[in-house]
Amino acid sequence: MNSLVLRKTALSRDLAGKYAVASARTCPLPMQKPARLRRKGPVFWAMLALVVLAADLALALLAWLAVDLVMS
């Protein structure tokens, strides 16, 4: 049992040393916006606005028909 404990301790030290050295070598990257947000231009936002406007008009039409159905 002592041998097993010593092997685990040695393995832990080896792994800790390896990861400590690997993390010390990496330099922190500057914060950047994701590429997908930078590529979306005004055309995308205009199309999104038109879709929202169309959905709003469709809901208004449904509400109009519902009120007309209830009132008549």
- How would residue 36 be classed by pLDDT, with cut points 50, 70 and 90? low
Q: CA 48 to CA 70: how far, in whole Å?
A: 33
Through-space distance between the first and last CA atoms of the chain, rounded to whole angstroms: 88
- How would residue 41 be classed by pLDDT, with cut points 50, 70 and 90? confident
Tell me which residue range forms the domain holding 58: 2-71
- How would residue 67 be classed by pLDDT, with cut points 50, 70 and 90? very high
Q: What is the mean pLDDT of residues 28-40?
A: 64
With 90 as the cut, is the pLDDT of residue 57 above it?
Answer: yes
Q: What is the overall mean pLDDT for the chain?
A: 77
Q: CA 16 to CA 8: how far, in whole Å?
A: 12
How many domains is the chain built from? Answer: 1
The amino acid that residue 56 corresponds to is D
Q: What is the mean pLDDT of residues 25-34?
A: 62
The amino acid that residue 53 corresponds to is L
Q: CA 33 to CA 53: how far, in whole Å?
A: 29
